[in-house]
Amino acid sequence: MGKQLTDSPVVGPGTLSARRLTTGRVLAPVLVGVLGLLLWQLLVGVFGISSYLLPAPTAIFAEANRAFEHIWSAALITGWNSLAGLVAGTLLGVFFAALAAASKSANAMVNPLVAALAVIPIVALAPILNTMFGSTQFPRQAIAALASFVPVFVSTLRGLRQTNPELRDLMHTYAATPIQIFFTITLPTAVPYVFTGVRLASSLAVISALVAEYFGGPRGGLGGIISTAAASSQYPRAWAYVLASIVLGLMFYLTTLLLEWLANRSRRAAAG
């Protein structure tokens, strides 16, 4: 044996073209965004649209800059609620998906419940929970958890059912226990699907935690301040907090996107 045995390994794609692709992917939307802002500023300036209807971007940025500390603390409150909800929803989603994948009767019990949860509108639930739990952040976290639960459950359950039948056969020939099978092949196969679910859930968690603040409960979060500012006609202020909400949602999305990418990195291709 020796030399004639060493086939050349598969070489990855060129890094240069990949980098060029990424640059394009980042630059294009940034360019569109900047052009949009310029157009907005121009429209407000040229046509003299009153700041009552639509404040100029410069006014919004000035307000965001001035009230940065307040915005930051508001974003922390909403961000924390979203994160708590996302984590709780993910844990519940994975747990119930594992249950549904493990037994047919559990699946028959859990699936209709999830379908019911999926169609509950947040707006319908928020006022009720706010009244039930009074002046705590719990209703917001619960609503964010509910919203996160569904995509994580659906995606994880799908992942748990993707196990390669050949690997199942292999584990059977090893006389592996059900626990060993779960941790050796079923769960690792499902992990990328879990993270896809978390990515889908991340923006939902932020939106839900934020919108839930519109329906009463303690003030201080981004959503609460947006509704107060809008109600008292402080439009640049309201828009500044909307801007912060967008940034918060993006941060959640990008973080979970990164997690998903890390989870997928070592398993780009299924073994042939």
Partner 1 sequence: MTTPDTAGSTTPAPEAAAPTAVQATNVEKVFSTSSGQVHALSDVSLTVAPGEFVSLIGPSGCGKSTLMRLIADLEAPTGGQLSVFGKSPDRARRDQDYGIAFQKAGLLPWRTVADNVGLPLQLHKSSTADRKARVAELLEMVGLADFADRHPDQLSGGMQQRVAIARSLAEKPRLLLMDEPFGALDEMTRERMQTELLRICAETSATVVFVTHSIPEAVYLSDRVVVMSPRPGRIAEVIDMKLQSTDERTDELREDTSYFDMITAVRESLHGRSGQGGTQGSGRTSTGHGVENR
Q: Kindly list the residues in this chain that would bind partner 1 in the complex (CB under 8 A).
A: 1-2, 4-10, 164, 166-167, 169-176, 180, 184-185, 188, 266-272
Listed residue (63, 58, 62) closest to 41, CA to CA: 58
Closer to partner 1 by CB, 17 or 173: give it: 173
Instruction: Indicate the SS3 state at residue 268.
Output: coil
End-to-end CA distance of the chain: 25
What's the CA gap between 263 and 253, in Å, rounded? 15
Least distance in angstroms from the C-beta of 155 to partner 1:
18
Closer to partner 1 by CB, 155 or 208: give it: 155
Closer to partner 1 by CB, 94 or 129: give it: 94
The DSSP output letter for 3 is G
Tokens 């052009």 belong to which residue? 35
Closer to partner 1 by CB, 106 or 185: give it: 185
H-assigned helices in 103-221:
104-119, 122-133, 138-160, 165-173, 178-181, 187-212
Tokens 């917001």 belong to which residue? 140
Query: Is residue 192 within 8 Å of residue 267, measured between CB atoms?
Result: yes
Listed residue (143, 172, 33) closest to 84, CA to CA: 143
Least distance in angstroms from the C-beta of 181 to partner 1:
10
Closer to partner 1 by CB, 5 or 231: give it: 5
Least distance in angstroms from the C-beta of 7 to partner 1:
4
Least distance in angstroms from the C-beta of 111 to partner 1:
24
In this structure, what are the phi and psi dihedrals at residue 220, rounded to the nearest 5 degrees? Answer: 120, -25
Least distance in angstroms from the C-beta of 90 to partner 1:
20
Least distance in angstroms from the C-beta of 24 to partner 1:
26
Tokens 């976290």 belong to which residue? 141
The DSSP output letter for 186 is I
Least distance in angstroms from the C-beta of 210 to partner 1:
36
Cα dist from 206 to 27, 49, 189, 223, whole Å: 26, 31, 28, 10
Closer to partner 1 by CB, 39 or 170: give it: 170
Closer to partner 1 by CB, 99 or 191: give it: 191
